[in-house]
Structure 1
Amino acid sequence: MKYSYYPGCSLHTTAKEFDISTKVVLRELGIDLKELDDWSCCGGSVASNVSHDVGMALAARNVVLAQQESRDLLASCSGCYNKSAKAAKALETETEKNKIAPILAEMGLSVSESNIRVRNVVDVLAHDIDIAPHIKKPLTGLKVACYYGCLLTRPQDITGWDSPVFPMAMDKIVETCGAQAVDFRSKTKCCGGPILETKKDVALDLTKKLLDEAKDLGADCIVLACPLCATNLELRQAEIEKKYNVSYSMPIIYITEIVGLALGMKPGKLGMHKHVVSPKRVLAKVN
């Protein structure tokens, strides 16, 4: 299987461990990733607030580049995946396509008739590969809270997941790896990331609720596929602990890192040394 790979801005900066683990894990599982030539920001964070059409064209640009390579586009970041999937859908809709195409033309690109799918790494791991035969080191005894966040599964007509509010794909991957997926009821609730700058107190409270539930369930870590959620849950932990006089030290781990550990890969090869909250307690348990 071959995919055009779109890392997006975060995976080349604050979420390098996600980029590293995505590449080495999928390579180990026999999937060929070719990083999209000349990819650019999907505009997911702010572009649409300035202009819907320009914002959609920024995401569509990467879709068109993947069309030229005749490969489905794989985006690990849930935000990039969501925005790119919406752009791919827009290119199939005549009225939206007519708005986007002139902007793409100014970028020197034309829309191809070759429709491609935009995929997320969780979706690919769950549905395109049988991971089980590759497991070398089952993660027995590890309790995991799978967190999907707002963008990975919604809207359902774009993403096509099993459920927009209580999906199970990531849970099944974790269990195939030998770990226990706890019954994390907040798995698709917002972490507050998008409002962190404008309503910080509200954002921190939302993040705290996720950490509280994971801790109450006895989870050893929270596993996810969103760099923005990871930033909130990992980088804000110390601030939340101080503000509310609580203690977590909860590792925030990308799903590709969990799979990599089960494949027998060394933590350093997966980029796990780059985490802010140490994953040592997770590594100690699986070792």
Structure 2
Amino acid sequence: MKYSYYPGCSLHTTAKEFDLSTKVVMRELGIELEELQDWSCCGGSIATGVSHDVGMALAARNVVLAQNQNTDLLAACSGCYNKSAKAAKALENEQERDKISSILAAMGISVGDRNIKVRNVVDVLANDLDISSKVRKPLMGLKVACYYGCLLTRPTDITGWDSPVFPMSMDKLAIACGAEVVDFRSKTKCCGGSILIPKEDVALSLTKGLLDEAKSLGADCIVLACPLCSTNLELRQPDIEKKYNVSYSLPVIYITELIGLALGIKPGKLGMDKHLVSTKPILAKLGIILSDLPIFRIQNPVGNIQNTTN
């Protein structure tokens, strides 16, 4: 099975561990990923806020490139997936297609007639593959809270492969890996990522609610598939701890990292040395050797991140 792989901006910058773990896990499971040639930013939510047509065309550009490669488009980031899937659906609408085609024509790109699907990594892992048959090191004793956020399974006319209210795909994947899944009722609540800049207090309060519940359930980590959610839940932990006088030190990892551990892949190859909240407690609980894995301690989340190796 082969896909055009769309990493998006985050997986080449702030979420390199998601990129690394996605590639190595998919390869281990027999999925071939060919990085989308000449891909560009999907525009996220910002571009559409400025211009619906231009924002849609930015995302559609990548869909059209995948059409030219004649393969379905696979996105890891839930935001990139959601925007790309919306663009693919827009191309099926004659009016939307004409607007998008006009904008892309100015870029020298012609919209073709090949029909392709836009898939998310979680969807493929949960619905197309048998993870349990590949598990070499079951994650026994590890308690995880699976967090889906706003965009991974919403809206259903764009996604449709899991419940938009109480999805279970990552939960099932974690269970297949041998982990214990806690009953995380806030799994689709907003983390506040999109309002962090204009309304920081509200965003931190929303994120705090997620961290509080995960901690109260005894979760050893939060598992997700969204770089923006990861930024709020991991990078902003020190801000929340200081503001509310609480303590978490709760690791936040990607679902592909969790699966990679169960497949017996070394933590370093999964990028688990790149986290801002140390993943060592997770690995220690699983009895994995830690000597070559650095700890990242956040002194000041704005500009003074220090890395020390134990």
- Report if the CA contact (8 A) 1:161-1:167 is conserved: no
State how far apart, in whole Å, the 2-side matches of 1:144 and 1:29 are: 22
1:107 Cα deviation from its structure 2 partner = 1.1
In structure 2, the partner of 1:38 is 38
Q: Determine if the alignment matches structure 1 residue 155 to structure 2 residue 151.
A: no
1:50 Cα deviation from its structure 2 partner = 1.0
Which region of structure 1 is more displaced relative to structure 2, 41-50 or 221-230? 41-50
Match of 2:87, SS state, is helix
Q: Determine if the alignment matches structure 1 residue 2 to structure 2 residue 2.
A: yes
In structure 2, the partner of 1:175 is 175
Amino acid aligned to 1:8: G
1:237 Cα deviation from its structure 2 partner = 0.1
Match of 2:162, SS state, is coil
Amino acid aligned to 1:97: R
State how far apart, in whole Å, the 2-side matches of 1:14 and 1:162 are: 27
In structure 2, the partner of 1:222 is 222
1:108 Cα deviation from its structure 2 partner = 1.1
Match of 2:88, SS state, is helix
In structure 1, the partner of 2:306 is none
Structure with more helix by fraction:
1
Residues 85-118 of structure 1, C-alpha deviations (whole Å, 9 max, x = no match): 0000000111111111100111111111111110
State how far apart, in whole Å, the 1-side matches of 2:101 and 2:160 are: 25
Q: Determine if the alignment matches structure 1 residue 269 to structure 2 residue 269.
A: yes
State how far apart, in whole Å, the 1-side matches of 2:212 and 2:115 are: 43
1:235 Cα deviation from its structure 2 partner = 0.4
Match of 1:222, SS state, is strand
Match of 2:157, SS state, is helix
Match of 1:5, SS state, is strand
In structure 1, the partner of 2:134 is 134
Residues 45-86 of structure 1, C-alpha deviations (whole Å, 9 max, x = no match): 310111100000000000000001111100000000000000
State how far apart, in whole Å, the 2-side matches of 1:222 and 1:161 are: 22
Q: Determine if the alignment matches structure 1 residue 189 to structure 2 residue 199.
A: no
1:128 Cα deviation from its structure 2 partner = 1.1
TM-score, normalised to structure 1, is 0.99
State how far apart, in whole Å, the 1-side matches of 2:269 and 2:117 are: 29
State how far apart, in whole Å, the 1-side matches of 2:119 and 2:10 are: 17
Match of 1:156, SS state, is coil
Match of 1:218, SS state, is coil
Q: Determine if the alignment matches structure 1 residue 258 to structure 2 residue 258.
A: yes
Match of 1:141, SS state, is coil
Amino acid aligned to 1:178: G
Within-5 A mapping of 1:63-212: 63-212=63-212
Residues 170-224 of structure 1, C-alpha deviations (whole Å, 9 max, x = no match): 1000000000111100000000000000000000000000000000110000000
State how far apart, in whole Å, the 2-side matches of 1:246 and 1:82 are: 34
> Unaligned stretches of 5+ in structure 1?
none
Amino acid aligned to 1:54: V
Amino acid aligned to 2:36: L
TM-score, normalised to structure 2, is 0.92
Within-5 A mapping of 1:229-244: 229-244=229-244
In structure 2, the partner of 1:25 is 25
Match of 1:101, SS state, is helix
Higher RCO (CA 8 Å, separation ≥ 6 residues)? 1
Match of 2:158, SS state, is helix
Q: Determine if the alignment matches structure 1 residue 15 to structure 2 residue 31.
A: no
State how far apart, in whole Å, the 2-side matches of 1:184 and 1:249 are: 18
Amino acid aligned to 2:151: L
Match of 2:18, SS state, is helix
State how far apart, in whole Å, the 1-side matches of 2:14 and 2:127 are: 28
Aligned residues: 287
Q: Among the aligned pairs, what percent are the same residue?
A: 78
Match of 1:74, SS state, is strand
> Unaligned stretches of 5+ in structure 2?
288-310
- Report if the CA contact (8 A) 1:71-1:116 is conserved: yes
Residues 242-273 of structure 1, C-alpha deviations (whole Å, 9 max, x = no match): 11010100000000000000000110010100
Amino acid aligned to 1:42: C
State how far apart, in whole Å, the 1-side matches of 2:251 and 2:235 are: 11
Instruction: Quote the RMSD (CA, aligned, Å).
Output: 0.6
Amino acid aligned to 1:272: M
1:132 Cα deviation from its structure 2 partner = 1.1
